[in-house]
Structure 1
Amino acid sequence: MVEVGAEHGVDARKCLHDTGISPEMLHGGSNTVVSGTQELAVAANLVTATGNASGVGLAVGERLSLRAYGVWGFALLTCPTVRGAVDFAMQYLPLTYAVTGLSMRVSGGEACLIVDDDCSSAALRPFLVEREIAVTAGILRTILGESPPSMRVELRLPRSPSVDYEKALGTPVRFNAPHNAIIADVAVLDLPLPQSDPLTMTVCERACRSLLSERCSPCVTQNVRTIIAEGVTDAGLIAARLHLSARTLRRYLAAEGTSLRHLVDEARRAKAIELMTLHRLSVEQIALRLGYADAATFIRAFRRWTGTTPGAYAVHQPSRP
């Protein structure tokens, strides 16, 4: 992003302003770690400094070759087919730079890899979509050795006369589409990859599994707990507070052995017990406080959490003065 900024006349320090990253840190090799929040802050600075110019995301995405993804990228090369590479990529997506959601849909003889930008900041959305589309198209070309003849790109973005999207992506592009996606004949999924190697793939997957465990910050769960404690339980709103897509948030929580529903239930259970035992509120009052439609719905939830009803639970608690 700093390199692309320089090409647009944006000084490195302007790109890195108020991110906690110095130009010197970018040359720190493996000793320098940039968080996802910092990365998005740099992206926001770049987008602002370039006047939200079209094509900036494409330029960044073109620089992210498969080598930039380390063992994750190497693993994709060794998968048996395109389908296997897509499945592997999705499973270990948190190891990449992707901050938008990605999903695969097969319909009408076509495979559609959709870039979900709904949870992205409106200001960053065009940049992130361009970047993810450029990266994904580049990865597909690399693992196959060429772009599939049937491949095309559809973007929700309007066409910019100043950017040659077709040349940058090496494929036809349709604008003002209902989604952002890379589309190809479904037969492409079963194409064999020229560098497939089952043994090497097994070794790479083991390494990716280990990296996923190390890199998924244990702070994510605690940060989500903090936000839930403020009364926010919507996945999209929580993800936006953490500068993540909802899908990425779910993947991080899954890697930490939990889920958003579990954390919300955990918070509601603790609050229900507090209101019941310390404040002596009625079931109806607790249900209202916790946002349930009625007492019966709350009672069912409480039974799911504790295995018993609120009344039975309260009977077995020690009395308080």
Structure 2
Amino acid sequence: MSVPWPARRSITSIQLLTQLGLDLGLSLDSCLHDTGLSPVQLASLNGEVEAQRELQLIANLIEALPDVDDLGLQAGRRYHLTTYGAWGYAILSSATVRQAADLGLRYHGLTYAFTRISLSLDDAIASLHFDDSALPPALHDFIVQRDMLGALVVVRELLGSALPLLALELRQPAPADVSPFAAFGQVPRFGAPGNRMGFAADLLDNPLPRANPHLVSACEQQCQALLARHQWHQGLAGRVRQLLLQSPGQIADMEQVSGRLHLSSRTLRRRLTEEGTSFRALQDEVRQALAEELLAAGGLSLEEIAERLGYGELSNFIHAFKRWKGITPGRYQRGS
């Protein structure tokens, strides 16, 4: 089953969850156990991490705090609109709730949710659904609680007031103490077929107080770029790109990459075709990305850059770059 989240995400969510653990008495080492993250990496303001590291951190919190029944709810309260970067500002600047919902769901991959969120309309009721089918079972309740309450926090800050819910349903069984769930504004119906928050559909047409069409446009462009960058690391193609990036001076061939992936060249070729790409296309993407980065950084001659990218002749590099960008690498560098 494919997962509904990008392979990489902002480190902000890990920072929020680590602080939750610290506030509840855990040590930093306990929080970061088996995540592969160091305190220095954790402090990065603009870092990105593999989603799997966050899942490991969540598992650490659950294991270390087994008596905290509302752990997911405590986490959800911390996800304010301003923690989402360009995605948050895009929906905050939307003209209506409907536009905010459309933008939010279109760029859902930029949120910190591990559930797959969708919107449905049924007569006078609009519902946000939180599909948990891809979640690791041991993390299910925490993630659903966090994602749903986190979404409600965002909507509350977007509207400037609490969202009146007409329905609140969770798949998890009812806990012994339901009082912490009052954070939603009402106690959920537990043991439901799905996870859902329902509200009056006419709310979607309400204008928002901070509407700014120019800012929405600018933020959406940022969202597009961020999502493309995150998706660059997804699937088998993402793993191939990462391997190619690890040795740019050599630009590994298909046999080398397939060997590192423990696949035959034929299987690698077939699976990349299923993802709509090819090994040669991925080599080209990586070379282009590295070329643009090296040209913008300066300090290397065109000959040195060509050599690093695995081109035997400078002319071959120039020809490839003109095919990518429509201009020579020298002209691109002067304009950077």
The TM-score bracket by the shorter chain reads 0.5 to 0.7
1:154 matched residue in structure 2: 169
1:272 matched residue in structure 2: none
Change (3 A) 1:262 1:175: farther
Structure 2 letter corresponding to 1:23: P
Deviations 1:52-110 (A, max 9, x none): 74211111111110110011101111112111111101111111111211111111421
Match for residue 157 of structure 2 among 118, 138, 142: 142
1:229: Cα distance to partner?
A: 6.2
Change (3 A) 1:8 1:28: same
Equivalenced residues, count: 238
Q: Is the Cα contact below 8 Å between 2:166 and 2:200 reproduced in 1?
A: yes
Match for residue 263 of structure 1 among 258, 270, 274: 274
Deviations 1:246-284 (A, max 9, x none): xxxxxxxxxxxxxx99616889xxxxxxxxxxxxxxxxx
Aligned to 1:34, the other structure's residue is in SS state strand
2:41 matched residue in structure 1: 25
Q: Is the Cα contact below 8 Å between 1:13 and 1:22 reproduced in 2?
A: no
Change (3 A) 1:199 1:158: same
Q: Is the Cα contact below 8 Å between 2:127 and 2:199 reproduced in 1?
A: yes
2:148 matched residue in structure 1: 133
1:215: Cα distance to partner?
A: 2.7
Q: Is the Cα contact below 8 Å between 1:43 and 1:124 reproduced in 2?
A: yes
1:172: Cα distance to partner?
A: 4.3
Change (3 A) 1:219 1:228: farther
Q: Is the Cα contact below 8 Å between 1:77 and 1:196 reproduced in 2?
A: yes
Deviations 1:97-140 (A, max 9, x none): 11211111111421111000011110011011001001110111
2:115 matched residue in structure 1: 100
Structure 1 letter corresponding to 2:26: V
> In 2, Cα distance between the equivalents of 1:3 and 1:190?
37
Match for residue 83 of structure 1 among 86, 98, 108: 98
1:186 matched residue in structure 2: 201
Structure 2 letter corresponding to 1:157: Q
**TM-score for the superposition, normalised by structure 1:** 0.67
5+ residue gaps, structure 1: 231-259, 268-321
1:193: Cα distance to partner?
A: 1.2
1:37 matched residue in structure 2: 52
**TM-score for the superposition, normalised by structure 2:** 0.64
2:232 matched residue in structure 1: 217
Aligned to 1:9, the other structure's residue is in SS state coil
1:1-321 matches, within 5 Å, as: 1-30=17-46, 32-51=47-66, 53-162=68-177, 164-222=179-237, 263=274
Aligned to 2:211, the other structure's residue is in SS state coil
Aligned to 1:129, the other structure's residue is in SS state helix
Aligned-residue identity in percent:
32
Structure 1 letter corresponding to 2:104: A
